[in-house]
Amino acid sequence: MAWDFETDPEFQAKLDWMHDFVREKVEPLIHLGFHPYDVKNPKRNALVRPLQDEVKAKGLWACHLGPELGGKGYGQVKLGLMNEILGRSAFAPTVFGCQAPDTGNAEIIAHYGTEEQKARYLKPLLHNEIVSAFSMTEPQGGSDPLLFTCSAVEDGDDWVINGEKWFSTNAKWSEFLIVMAVTDPDGHPYQRMSMFIVPTDAPGVEIVRNVAVYGQQEGSEGYVRYTDVRVPKDHLLGERGGAFVISQTRLGGGRVHHAMRTVGACKRALDLMCRRAVSRKTRDGVIADKQAVQMQIADSYIELEQFRLFVLKTAWMIDKHQDYKLVRKDIAGIKALMPRVYKDIAGRALHIHGSLGVSPEMPFAAQVIGAFVMGIADGPTEVHKVTVARQHLRAYRDVEDPIFPDYSIPNLKAAALEKYGDAADIVRELAESVGAD
pLDDT digits (tens, 9 = 90+) for 282-299: 889 999 999 999 999 999
Q: Are residues 170 and 263 in the same domain?
A: no
Q: Is residue 42 part of a domain?
A: yes
Asked whether residue 233 falls in the same domain as residue 255, the answer is: no
Instruction: Indicate if 252 and 330 belong to the same structural domain.
Output: yes
Q: What is the pLDDT of residues 124-156, one digit of tens each?
A: 999 999 999 999 999 998 888 889 999 999 999
* Domain end point (choices 221, 237, 253): 237
125 within a domain of the structure (yes/no): no
Domain residues for 205?
Answer: 132-237
* Whether 349 and 384 share a structural domain: yes
Residue 122 lies in a domain: no
Q: What residue type is 243 in one-letter code?
A: A
Confidence at residue 424, expressed as pLDDT on a 0 to 100 scale: 63
Considering only CA atoms, give the Rg of the chain: 26
Residue 384: inside a domain: yes
pTM: 0.90
In a domain, 171, yes or no: yes
Specify whether 266 is located in the same domain as 392: yes
**pLDDT at 134 (0 to 100):** 95
Cβ atoms of 174 and 132 within 8 Å: the answer is yes
Mean pLDDT rounded to a whole number for the chain: 93
- Strand bridging mode 236-237 / 221-232: unpaired
The answer to whether position 119 is within a domain reads no
Question: Does residue 250 sit in the same domain as residue 385?
Answer: yes
Would you state the pLDDT for residue 255? 81
Where residue 342 sits, what CATH number does that domain have?
A: 1.20.140.10
CA atoms within 13 A on the CB side of 390: 8
Distance of alpha carbon 311 from the chain centroid:
11
331 and 418 both lie in a single domain: no
Low-confidence ranges of the chain (pLDDT < 70): 1, 217, 251-253, 424-428, 430-431, 434-437
Please count the residues of the chain. Answer: 437
Tell me how many domains the chain contains.
4
Q: Is there a single domain that holds both residue 385 and residue 325?
A: yes
Residues 382, 307 within the same domain: yes
